[in-house]
A and B are shown apart, each in its own frame.
Chain A
Amino acid sequence: MSHKVLVGYFDSEDRLLAATRAARAANLPVHDVYTPYAVHGMEEALGLRHSRLTWVCFAAGLFGLLSAVSLQYFTSVVSWPLNVGGKPFNSAPAFVPVSFELTVLIAGLVTVAAFFLRSWVLPGVSAHALPRVTNDRFALAIATEVARFDPDEASGLMRRHGAVETELAEVAR
């Protein structure tokens, strides 16, 4: 689904940060920002909730740990118990390394997959990046399809904060 937005282009992260804060303070419908790198403090400026990926990672790690322990218990105790050097079948300390590795493996892969799906950053997704935002421009996008959007107010605010250019554009998400 694409959105029509009013985009203001800035040439430094400081100006974009200031403009984003001002736009939110002025109750403008901020759609998103587009930057060539992760701008420190932008999460607060956009008023984003803290990412829930940490919980995904924790849950996936827990799942990985349980799977690894079950796999080792099942194969070594239930399915085909083998006497190896007189050790008990459920020789738990020996199962620690593999349990740890599988915890990390599953936590890592699931977290990355969750990020890709949530952000819709996936193979085959065609990009509609705004001009130069992956190079040296910083863009602030104000949603136009909402009632509280006022084109003059929005472009005025962005110009006041040093926007070098404003234009109407369409963004994919």
Chain B
Amino acid sequence: MSDSHVSSLRVPLLAEERTLAQLTEEISAPLERRPGAAFWGAFALSFSALCVGVGMVTYQIATGVGVWGLNKTVGWAFDITNFVFWVGIGHAGTLISAILFLFRQKWRTSINRAAEAMTLFAVICAAIFPLIHMGRPWLAFWMFPYPNSRGSLWVNFRSPLLWDVFAISTYFTISAVFWYVGLIPDLATVRDRTKSKLRRFVFGLMSFGWTGSGRTWARYETLYLLLAGLATPLVVSVHTIVSMDFATSVIPGWHTTIFPPYFVAGAVFSGFAMVLTLIIITRKVLGFEHLITVRHLENMTKVIIVTGGIVSLAYATEFFIAWYSGNPYELFAFKNRALGPFNWAYWTMVSCNVLSPQLFWFKKIRTSVAAIFLLSLVINVGMWFERFVIIVTSLHRDFLPSSWSMYRPTVIEVGTLIGTFGLFFTLFLVFTRLLPVISIGELKAVSRWARGPARHDVPAAAHGAPGARHAGKEAA
């Protein structure tokens, strides 16, 4: 690490000092050893959940969407709730990989790989719901504009649901590419150190002949910056467009201009909770507690405080505007949310999303891994209920009291949700065994961040005063 990063004011990013070779060794170790009982236990559990989901979806497709608990009044419920929930989860990964990169937040290097993987898996889970809601998922390609024999009947570009098709597929593609580009140097690292012939072949193929050339690195840095710059507005656009699925309709409770920022903040809020859940387990199981330190977790809880605050403000604003607008339907929708038959869901949401993150104001809680883990689960639950509340309570008592109705998910719907959790965790577990969960290259670049320059290999005389060197570098 160049001493341009040395500052007595900064705290080292790694809890323990490591040489470059040690970092390679430690991070690639899980790929090269046989997984233990804990892994197989977790895998069995997730895989069983996945199988439940596969069974439910198969039954639903074979029978029809009628197996869901939807009715004439509540035509949208569990499926879209889960869709918005999963897409939201994904947003934290892009925030960490792209936005924190643009803000030069070096601590992101320990967690960005896993968070980006989480994004991909969450988007896969999300995409399942609109797909199966079509009833005939094999005709999903009808959603794309292509010349066809029906007179070339085109898709409706004025529909937010179509915007969603483009937003989600672009988001998935760009996230996958961004993730893979980030992986290439690490794949080469694994390729060059492995003793297994098969692994050398596979990683050799996947690392695209990476040699670590300085010229390539220079272009790579430019590419990475460009992709981060593209992914940043992209991630904001995705949940904005998701919120427009609701906001462009004329349903009281949905038809508000506050939805885009409110949804984006909520997405980041829930996503960070899910990153924390996954990261806390991963660092424990793989023994990466010195690489993904309590400081990383603490930083993420701070993001949760901010985004949780925005979400709380949005809840309050909605109520204020419902009253201030003087629109009786709007006011009724919100009174019904807080006091109607689904009030238990509303107050679950408020206690999980508004009250529980306030505990993170205490340093003791921010630095207690167990407390963070518990609260991350609470927030996950809360954010699921947020989407449920927005969707179902706005629909179930509409303009005509004679068509008021209730909604209750069927076993099939609950099983499908469980199935997506199974898919998500199965994919993540497989990922921790096949690919380096921490970006080895990026972590090496910051491993001596804020550590004394004289400790390693460069003799003090070769340096001159660190301050003077620092100034010179900045100028260059």
Contacts and interface: CB of A to CB of B under 8 A. Distances in A.
B217 interface: yes
Given A84-B158, A125-B209, A135-B21, A105 B173 contact: yes
Contacts of B173: 105, 108-109
Interface in A80-114: 80, 82, 84-85, 87, 91, 94-95, 97-98, 100-102, 104-105, 107-109, 111-112
A45 to B, nearest CB: 8
Contact of A122 (B162, B208, B218): B208
Interface stretch (B31-39, B115-123, B181-189, B408-416): B181-189
B193 interface: yes
A15 B458 contact: yes
Interface stretch (B124-132, B230-238, B278-286): B230-238
Interface string A139-173: 00000000000000000000000100000000111
B444 interface: yes
B270 interface: no
A18 B462 contact: yes
Given A12-B456, A44-B476, A136-B24, A119 B219 contact: yes
B20 interface: yes
Contacts of A127: 188, 191-192, 204, 207, 209-211
Interface string B201-225: 0001111111111111111111100
B442 interface: yes
A136 B189 CA distance: 10
A38 B192 contact: no
B223 A112 contact: yes
A12 B451 CA distance: 14
Contacts of A46: 214-215, 218
Contact of B20 (A36, A91, A172): A36
B158 A38 contact: no
Interface in A16-74: 17-18, 32-44, 46, 48, 50-51, 53-54, 57, 71-72
Given A53-B223, A95-B157, A124-B205, A104 B230 contact: yes
16 contacts: A17-B2, A18-B462, A35-B217, A37-B442, A37-B444, A38-B220, A40-B4, A43-B221, A76-B158, A97-B237, A101-B234, A105-B174, A112-B223, A120-B209, A124-B209, A127-B209
Interface of A: 11-15, 17-18, 32-44, 46, 48, 50-51, 53-54, 57, 71-72, 75-76, 79-80, 82, 84-85, 87, 91, 94-95, 97-98, 100-102, 104-105, 107-109, 111-112, 115-116, 118-130, 132-136, 162, 171-173
